[in-house]
Structures are given as structure tokens and as C-alpha cells.
Amino acid sequence: MLEAVAPTLRLNIDTDALAGNWRTLDALSGAASAGAAVKANAYGLGLAKAVPALADAGCTSYFVAHWGEARELLNYVPPEQISVLHGPINSAEAQFAISSGVIPVINSLHQAGIWTTAGGGMCDIMVDTGINRLGLSMDEIQADRIIKLSVRTLMSHLASADEDSPLNAQQLAKFKTATNAIPAGQHSLANSAGIALGPDYTFDLTRPGLALYGGVPRAELAGAISQVAFLEAAILQIRTLKAGDTVGYNATFTAPSDMRVGVISLGYADGFLRCWAGRAAIMYEGKALPVLGKISMDMIVVDLTSVPNCREGDWLSVPYALPEAAKQSGLSQYELLTILGQRFSR
């Protein structure tokens, strides 16, 4: 058997920071408990690292989008702590929920029918209060099929919680109407940004995702949330350019004088997209090394002028504090996390 060799890319997860962010969001949720959105492999960070840390911190409600994600999550938490946001769209998915004990989120009359026909049982309900994505519309919640469900968590999702939008209060009012119409064990409205909107929005259970992983969707959370994901990449080769030499595809950088540059194992296939070109600087011992030329699939080239002691094989850190990185790159904080590729060791 061939031994695996360590990748030249590391995604270091600060599990203490993650647990601390959960505790902070749980406290900010007031009388409500915080759950955790762990869809998309815990926003790219990996269920294996993230979920045990969240569980140790005290989290007992987890949200994923896909049934396949629930299956993997079952390695870490009991089935009744898992809600599947996409809900069952066929009998196989409903059967998976029944066999595993994972809780489906019912989003439509169609899904309610599938769930009931499969045998049903405890479920969650998503009601649409204005995002017009998944969820029962307000005029469907009184339907016979819905009234007959046994509902653990009645939830809705805010469209603009990260902004001071009139939509927030409108959605809150509609959600209150829904809570009066559907008997449910508990109510849940707020994502990360929704928690920062205050106690009117937190109900019984909150569903933070982004802020757990170091994202700051609203100014109120700045200072309270710590960075969780730290990126490092190795120097594969160091070369010396002559004045006039160019770097990378389409020769978009020309060396103004002789200079020492490093070829780094990080590219757009790893999630370091081409929008970073001309905007990124990679760090070595506190020095910022500008990225030169275009981002390649597997590599970038950085200016090593300020770090003559830097050697091939050394590790550089990639600044990835999400609010700042989002401003620099033009990507959203969500995209910055979920885009991180499979070649990072996690």
C-alpha cells in the first residue's frame, strides 16, 4: 500500500475559535438555543473537525441541505439532532428519514404528501415569509395535509438579515402569523445575521452558519466572532527574474528590475480564484508578499524581494480573515469558505 504524502496546502481549523463562536452566538440568542448550519461540509471546513467541536461546546441541533450530508453527519451526532433542509422530494428520501431517524424539513404540500404517504412522523416545517426560496407559502399553512403533520420545529428564513431592510420586520410579522397557525414544539427564524437583529428574532432556536466559521455578516458581530479558517501554502520553487521578464499566463506582470520570486502551491482549483490577481498578498514572517501576474489553476507567483531568508519548502500564510478577504476579493464571505478545494489538508 502506498503511503499518502502530506499536501502542500493546509486548511487549519481553530476548533477552539469555532467552539467559542458557537458559545457567543448561543449567548447572543438569549433565551433561545443556537443550533448550527453545517451544510456544504460545514461551509467547506469539514464535518469531521467542525461537528465534534460544536457538539463538545453544547450544540444539539444541526442543519444540512442534502440527505447525503445527513448520512455523513450521522457519524458524529444522533439522528434526531439533524434536520435536512431540502426535505424529501421522493419516497426514497422519505424512507431514508424514517429508517435513520433524521428529521425532514417539509417545504411544500408535495413534500408533505410524500412524507405522510411514506409513513410520516416527526418533521420540521419551513414556511416562506418572503425570501421565495424553499418553503410553504403563507396561504398553504392551513392546508389539511399540513395541519395533520406532527411538527417539531417551525422555521422560516430571512432574506436580508445582513441589511437594515424593511423586509426583516415584514418577515417577522408573517412568521408570527405562521406560529399562531401551526402548532409546533419550537420556532426558529434567525440565521447568523438574524441573531444580531435582537431578541424579537431569536424565538426558541437559532440557526447560525457563517458566523460560526468566522464570518461577520453584520457590524454588531464584529469583535465578537473569531477567525476559524487559516490557510497555508508551500513554496515549490524560487527563481530569479531579470528585468523585463514576465510572469504567468498572458505575461501580465513584467519585472521592473531583477527580482526573486516564489512559486506557491495554491491556485484557482483550490478556490483561490482569479479575482484575487493584483489584490492579494501572501504572508511570510509578518511580511506581505504581493501576488504577481495571473492566478493559475495550481500555482501563484509571489514577490520574495522583502524576504531573502525564505526557502523552497517553506510555508506561507494566506490572509483569510473573512470580512477583509471579502472586501479585497469581491467574493462573499460565504463563497470564500465554501469554495476551498479538496486539495487542502483539513
Q: Which residues bind ligand PLP (CB under 6 A)?
A: 37, 39, 63, 85, 157, 191-193, 207-211
User: Which one of 76, 213, 242, 249 is the catalytic residue?
Assistant: 249
Residue 281: beta bridge partners? 290
Residue 3 DSSP label: P
**Residue placing its CB nearer to ligand PLP in the complex, 194 or 293:** 194
Neighbour-count burial for 280-319, b at 16+ CB within 10 Å, e otherwise? bebebeeeebbbbbbbbebbbbbbbeebeebeeeeebbbe
Q: Would you state the cell numbers that stand for residue 49, as one nine-digit string?
A: 473537525
- On whether the CB atoms of residues 146 and 140 are closer than 8 A, the answer is yes
User: Using CB atoms within 10 A of its CB, is residue 140 exposed (0-12), middle (13-18) or buried (19+)?
Assistant: middle
Per the listing, cell 401551526 goes with: 182
Three-state SS at 263: strand
Tell me whether residue 39 is one of the annotated catalytic residues. Answer: yes
Rounded to the nearest 5 degrees, what angle is found at the Cα of 159, between the Cα atoms of 192 and 42?
Answer: 40
**Residue placing its CB nearer to ligand PLP in the complex, 194 or 267:** 194
Per the listing, cell 404528501 goes with: 113
Tell me whether residue 176 is one of the annotated catalytic residues. Answer: no
Report the distance separating Cα 268 and Cα 249, nearest Å.
13
Closest-approach residue to ligand PLP (CB): 209
**Residue placing its CB nearer to ligand PLP in the complex, 25 or 289:** 25
Contacts of 142 (CB under 8 A, 6+ apart): 181
Task: Give min distance, CB of 272 to ligand PLP, in A.
Answer: 22
Contacts of 173 (CB under 8 A, 6+ apart): none
**Residue placing its CB nearer to ligand PLP in the complex, 133 or 311:** 133
Report the distance separating Cα 46 and Cα 75, nearest Å.
13
**Residue placing its CB nearer to ligand PLP in the complex, 216 or 280:** 216
User: Which one of 39, 201, 294, 334 is the catalytic residue?
Assistant: 39
Catalytic site residues? 39, 249
